[in-house]
Amino acid sequence: MTTVVLAHAQLESLPPPLTPVRVGTEWDFELWLALTIVVVAGLYLYGVSRLRTRGDAWSRWRTCCFIGLGLGAVVLATSSALAVYDTTLLSVHMVQHMVLTMVAPVFLALGAPITLALRTLPARPRWWLLASIHSRFARVLTFPVLAGAAFVANPFMLYFTGWYEATLRNELLHHVNHVHFLLTGCLWFWPLLGLDPMPTRFAYPLRMIAVFATLPFHAWLGVAVMSSSTLIAGDWYTSLGREWGPSLLSDQRTAGGILWTSGDVVGVVLLAVLFVQWSRAAEREAAREDRRLDRLEARGSIAASGH
C-alpha cells in the first residue's frame, strides 16, 4: 500500500512534458540559493567598487566571468529547466552535472575572487585568508593527484552505486550533491588555471599533463553509461511512471553521450586556455629578462664612461 501511494505521489509531482519552449520557460527558484548567490555577487561587486574608488584597475572580463558566466552557470544549473527536470530525466541531470562540475568552476576561477579579496580586505581578514590558503589542509585538498583522483572517481562512485538514487529520494542529499559537484570542480580547476594564489603553483607543462590524464576517464564513464543495459537508479525512474519523452534506456544512452562529449569539449577548451596562459607567461618572462639585460648593459656603459 505504501509503495502504491508513493508511486502515485511521484506521478502527480512529475513536471509537464519537456518541450523546446519549456526549456526556456520552466524555472524553480530556491530562496536560500537565490539569497546565497545574491550575497556572493554583491560581495564581489563591492570589492570591485572599492578597487576602482581608490584608482586601481580590475578587469571587466574577470567580473563578467565570475558574475555572468560563473554564478550565471550555477543559477542555470540549479534554477532553470535543468533543475525542474533533473530528477525526471537522467539526460537533463547529466547536463546539470557537467555545468556544475566543469563549466561554473572554470569561470569562477577566471574571475579570480581570492585575488580580489586579498586586494580589498582589511589587514586581519587578509591575514586569515592567506593563512587558510597556505595551510596544510589546503595543500592536501588542492594537491593535483588527490584533487584529480576525486574529480575522476566521484562520478564513477555516484552512478555505479546506490548514492545517485539516494540523492533522488532525499531533497537534502539532492542539494548536497549539487554543492559537491561544484566544490569538486573548483578544487580541480582552480589550481590548474592558477589565477588566484594557491598553496602550490605548478608549472604549465604539469598542468597540461594533468588535464590530458583526466580526459579519458569521462569518455570511459560516458561509454559505460551508454552501453549499460542496467538502468541507473532504475527503481526511481520506473516508479515515476513517465509516459512522455524517451524510454528510460534511450534517455540513459543520451546521458552517457552528454557525459562523454561534454567532458572532451571542456577538456580541449581548458587545454587551449592553459596554452594561451603559458604563452603569455613566457612573453612576460622574456620581457622581464630583456629589461634586466638592458639594465645590466646600461650599468656597464655608465661604469665604462666613468673610467
- Write a three-state SS string for the chain: CHHHHHHHHHHHCCCCCCCHHHHHHCCCCCHHHHHHHHHHHHHHHHHHHHHHHCCCCCCHHHHHHHHHHHHHHHHHHHHCHHHHCCCCCHHHHHHHHHHHHHHHHHHHHHCCHHHHHHHHCCHHHHHHHHHHHCCHHHHHHHCHHHHHHHHHHHHHHHHCCCHHHHHHHCHHHHHHHHHHHHHHHHHHHHHHHCCCCCCCCCCHHHHHHHHHHHHHHHHHHHHHHHHCCCCCCHHHHHHHCCCCCCCHHHHHHHHHHHHHHHHHHHHHHHHHHHHHHHHHHHHHHHHHHHHHHHHHHHHHHHHHHHC
- Residue 193 lies inside a defined structural domain of this protein: yes
State the amino acid at position 196 in one-letter form: D
- pLDDT reported for residue 302: 67
Whole-number Å distance between alpha carbons of 11 and 242: 7
Whole-number Å distance between alpha carbons of 95 and 241: 22
- Domain containing 238 equals 19-301
- pLDDT reported for residue 116: 93
What parts of the chain have a pLDDT lower than 70? Answer: 1-12, 281-282, 285-287, 289-290, 292-307
- Residue 11 lies inside a defined structural domain of this protein: no
- pLDDT reported for residue 201: 73
Q: How many CB atoms lie within 10 A of CB 207?
A: 21
Kindly report the pTM of this predicted structure.
0.84
- Residue 10 lies inside a defined structural domain of this protein: no
Q: What is the total count of domains within the chain? A: 1
- Residue 5 lies inside a defined structural domain of this protein: no
- pLDDT reported for residue 220: 86
- pLDDT reported for residue 11: 45
- Residue 250 lies inside a defined structural domain of this protein: yes
Whole-number Å distance between alpha carbons of 185 and 73: 13
- Residue 306 lies inside a defined structural domain of this protein: no
- Residue 1 lies inside a defined structural domain of this protein: no
- Residue 216 lies inside a defined structural domain of this protein: yes
| Crossing angle (nearest 10°) for helices 113-120 and 123-133 | 150
